[in-house]
Structure 1
């Protein structure tokens, strides 16, 4: 027996869906309520305003990020490799929260921008604790961010092992080898 998500969770999911699919302008309170299958009064019971709805999305994003930070800190291959390996868009709940929040940045939402700055600072701290060199840690972050950006923008598929057609797929395993070379300071 599956349990139905709460009305609050349905509202947040509907807000994410509208932000991802149609953008911030389309994610009105009326549209979110309709997509969630609740009345506008039901939506307002959980979220008093659109700002409160955004705060709910950001709280959800922070919750997923905390789980990610914990997994990253415990990864046996290290924080740097974890960051690159997991910077592939997988349409997970965390990915969806990230993309939805990114859509809000397009409408100049400073609260969202602030949360992303916090998250990036935490990822950077973890990578730096693993790598030890700020410039290399920043390069690892940019590598991971580039992977994520390209996957969300262009839909590049990724593979763990060497791909049959390297021009069409991003080989994450080869990028992890690059992280090892960056860590050791060797060039090839």
Structure 2
């Protein structure tokens, strides 16, 4: 069983993803995590502390992903595009929940997402040798992710394995030309 702290962060993520920031109250998060409000406040004395905890989680998950991306046998560009599909992973959930906060103008969420995006772009640039080309690859992956994360539930936004392979062929052309 996960720790109370992790259950609280999971519940906060769930509330943000499902219902948005307004519904992600301290009371709702505590109830969903099955902890008392005092238990929640022990780990996170404020909603801002919850956001900071979620930011730390996201940064840790993204850094792990960045390491895998850097060492990917088929290259960072192919890795980035191939993994730019929403799979409801821990990283996906942390990204989407922080995006919900960023959409509301939350400064911690905006800063966390900007930093993570920059670090992924740096890995692509290191492989490709050109920031503009790296940005083009990144935007291709980001578009796939956006489509999958925000439209899959509506029955659209499902990119097939065949379509991913076709897009990876385009990535190969971009990498070959860089």
Q: Into which bin does the TM-score normalised by the smaller protein fall?
A: over 0.9
C-alpha separation between the residues in 1 aligned to 2:131 and 2:38? Answer: 50
> What residue in structure 2 maps to residue 182 of structure 1?
174
Are 2:38 and 1:41 aligned? yes
Partner of 1:52: 49
After superposition, what is the alpha-carbon deviation per residue over 1:65-86, rounded to whole angstroms, capped at 9, x for unaligned? 1110110011001111111011
1:10-159 matched pairs, under 5 angstroms? 10-155=7-152, 156-159=157-160
What secondary structure sits across from 2:86 in the alignment? coil
Rounded Cα–Cα distance in structure 1 between residues aligned with 2:33 and 2:50: 13
TM-score by length of 1: 0.90
Separation (CA, whole Å) in 2 of partners of 1:69 and 1:46 = 28
SS of the counterpart of 2:134? helix
The two structures, once aligned, show a CA RMSD in angstroms of: 1.1
Report the Cα distance in structure 1 between the residues aligned to 2:177 and 2:91, rounded to whole angstroms. 33
- Give me the TM-score of the superposition, normalised by structure 2: 0.95
Structure 1 spans left out of the alignment, 5+ residues? 163-170
Of 164, 167, 173 in structure 2, the residue corresponding to residue 172 of structure 1 is 164
Per-residue deviation, 1:185? 2.5
Report the CA distance between 1:158 and its aligned residue. Answer: 2.9
- Distance between the aligned counterparts of 1:31 and 1:154, measured in 2? 26
Pairwise CA distance, 1:172: 0.7
**Post-superposition CA distance 1:44-100 (Å, at most 9, x none):** 000010000000000000110111011001100111111101111010011000001
> How far apart are residue 134 of structure 1 and its match?
1.6
